[in-house]
Amino acid sequence: MAVVPAGLAAVFLTCLLAAPTACGPWDTPAPPPAGPPPGASTCIFTKDSVTHYISPGQTKIIVDSASTVCEAYLCDGNTGTASLEFALSATCSSGCVDVAGSVTYCKCLSNCPGGPPAAPSDVCATTQPCSNGGTCSNTGGDSFSCACPAGYEGDRCQIDKCDSYCLNGGTCVHDSARSTGVRCECATGYLDEQCQTPRCTSAVNPCYNGGVCVMDTSSSVGYACQCVPGYSGPHCETVSTCEASWTKEGVYCYKTFDMKRTYDQAVDRCQQEGAIVSKSQSQAENDYIRGLLVDGMWLGVRDSVQEGSWVWSDGSPAFTASGDFTKWKSGEPDNAHGTETDADCVSANSNGKWMDIPCSNKKVFVCRKDL
Ligand SMILES: [Ca+2]
Ligand SMILES: [Ca+2]
């Protein structure tokens, strides 16, 4: 680099102290004058076949078309031919602007008010624009890019992916080993990448044997299985069995009592077993319980509260729907039994047909309870 002469240095100093708009030829990209200003002593020089005029004490900086180096021409007060005072550092060429594609001036940059422009400030160092530990790279001028750590995104790494990644109460954790940069620790009962899948709706039903999965936050696994009759266990994996002396048929356990008792006594006895006097709710069940005993037997149903309103032994209404199973003997129920009246209980005879008879009669019976 050439040495800056004292006269020109004074010009730069003036520029340094003045607002950028006062920097004269540095920041005045006006077309060059066509000829010497009238009445003024003028220096003249020619560069790249263009004639330039400058007043005494002024400097013109242009770019050499071949070298792209900004060159400064100073009129030292003596009219005549201006000579090249010095060539600025090549770094100053970044401050040169082209006007109308023909004449080039050196623009006085705000941060380079009189000499070669200072190197651009490092925006990464001065503003530290990258958040959350992002690595800043200066990409020229005030431009930068941020390389974000795992789980952060956005042009400044300002977005924490964890803020919205995990669903249904899942806990988000930054994890550089994953392509997403984050992973979810799901709340119980939820599955998949973002905990978006309730366990009960996942492809694999956790409940066996037709059990129905229901979400249950009180469970350690977040769900519970509602088993169909005949199955038990946390996942309905266990086939239910009847206790000793009880026999399994379908989804019920049955136990026979071959001593004859009144209906109320039969009810009490079954209650002692945690059971009810057996209902008969299908032809198959009617056949089954009828086959357990020989004599006429009680069925668990009565109309003693209101005549004609039959109630099962578990308290539920009986025969209310048109399709409900019944096996009445012809002429029954008639609220009578021979000469007896007030027949409010039901006996199944040896062929399985039903009759209403007084509850004070004594019959054998079968108790029934769920598996
Ligand atoms: Ca009756
Ligand atoms: Ca009857």
Ligand in closest contact with the CA of 343 = 1
**Which pLDDT score, from 0 to 100, does residue 9 have?**
40
Rounded to the nearest angstrom, the gap between the alpha carbon of residue 362 and the centroid of all alpha carbons in its chain is 68
- Tell how far the Cα of 254 is from the centroid of ligand 1, in angstroms: 26
Q: Tell me how far CA of residue 99 lies from CA of 32, 104, 105, 294, in angstroms.
A: 10, 6, 7, 120
Structure tokens at 63: 């770019």
Is residue 98 in some structural domain?
yes
Does 318 share its domain with 366? yes
DSSP 154: S
Length in residues, the chain: 371
**Which pLDDT score, from 0 to 100, does residue 221 have?**
86
- Tell how far the Cα of 335 is from the centroid of ligand 2, in angstroms: 5
Which residue do the tokens 């080039």 mark? 104
CA–CA distance, 310 with 305 (Å, rounded to integer): 9
- 86 φψ region: left (φ > 0), alpha (ψ -120 to 50), beta (else): beta
- Tell how far the Cα of 105 is from the centroid of ligand 2, in angstroms: 123
CA–CA distance, 28 with 118 (Å, rounded to integer): 20
Is residue 196 in some structural domain?
no
CB-CB contact of 271 with 263 (8 Å): no
Does 102 share its domain with 134? no
Phi, psi values for residue 22, rounded to 5° = -95, 15
Is residue 282 in some structural domain?
yes
Does 251 share its domain with 339? yes
324 by DSSP, 3-state: which?
A: coil
Is residue 187 in some structural domain?
no
**Which pLDDT score, from 0 to 100, does residue 126 have?**
82
- Tell how far the Cα of 303 is from the centroid of ligand 1, in angstroms: 5
Is residue 146 in some structural domain?
yes
| Total number of domains constituting the chain | 3
Residue that finishes a domain, picked among 43, 71, 106: 106
CATH number at residue 136: 2.10.25.10
- Tell how far the Cα of 307 is from the centroid of ligand 1, in angstroms: 5
CA–CA distance, 108 with 76 (Å, rounded to integer): 21
CB-CB contact of 369 with 295 (8 Å): no
316 by DSSP, 3-state: which?
A: coil
CA–CA distance, 341 with 330 (Å, rounded to integer): 18
Does 92 share its domain with 133? no
Does 257 share its domain with 366? yes
Does 271 share its domain with 328? yes
- Tell how far the Cα of 358 is from the centroid of ligand 1, in angstroms: 8
CA angle (359, 365, 366) in 5-degree steps: 135
Q: Residues with Cβ within 5 Å of ion ligand 1?
A: 303, 335, 344
Phi, psi values for residue 7, rounded to 5° = -65, -45
Is residue 336 in some structural domain?
yes
CA–CA distance, 14 with 11 (Å, rounded to integer): 5
- Point out which residues pair with 47 in neighbouring strands: 50
Domain that holds residue 130: 123-160
DSSP 118: P
Does 81 share its domain with 36? yes
Is residue 94 in some structural domain?
yes
pLDDT tens by residue, 168-190: 999 999 999 999 999 999 998 89
Does 64 share its domain with 140? no
Does 260 share its domain with 355? yes
- Evaluated on CA atoms 91, 96, 98, 104, the torsion sign reads negative
DSSP string, 190-254: EESTTS-EEGGGSSS-SS-TTPEEEE-TTSTTSEEEEPPTTEESTTS-EEP-PPTT-EEETTEEE
Does 251 share its domain with 357? yes
Ligand in closest contact with the CA of 336 = 2
- Tell how far the Cα of 301 is from the centroid of ligand 1, in angstroms: 11
Q: Tell me how far CA of residue 3 lies from CA of 76, 89, 121, 123, in angstroms.
A: 16, 10, 25, 31
Phi, psi values for residue 290, rounded to 5° = -65, -35
Which candidate, 65, 62, 44, places its Cα nearest to that of 53? Answer: 44
**Which pLDDT score, from 0 to 100, does residue 63 have?**
66
CATH number at residue 347: 3.10.100.10
Collect the ranges in the chain with pLDDT lower than 70: 1-43, 54-121
Does 255 share its domain with 357? yes
Is residue 222 in some structural domain?
no
CA–CA distance, 344 with 71 (Å, rounded to integer): 124
Which residue do the tokens 């059990």 mark? 211
Does 319 share its domain with 263? yes
**Which pLDDT score, from 0 to 100, does residue 22 have?**
33
Write the CB contacts of 49 (distance below 8 Å, at least 6 apart in sequence). none
CA–CA distance, 201 with 212 (Å, rounded to integer): 11
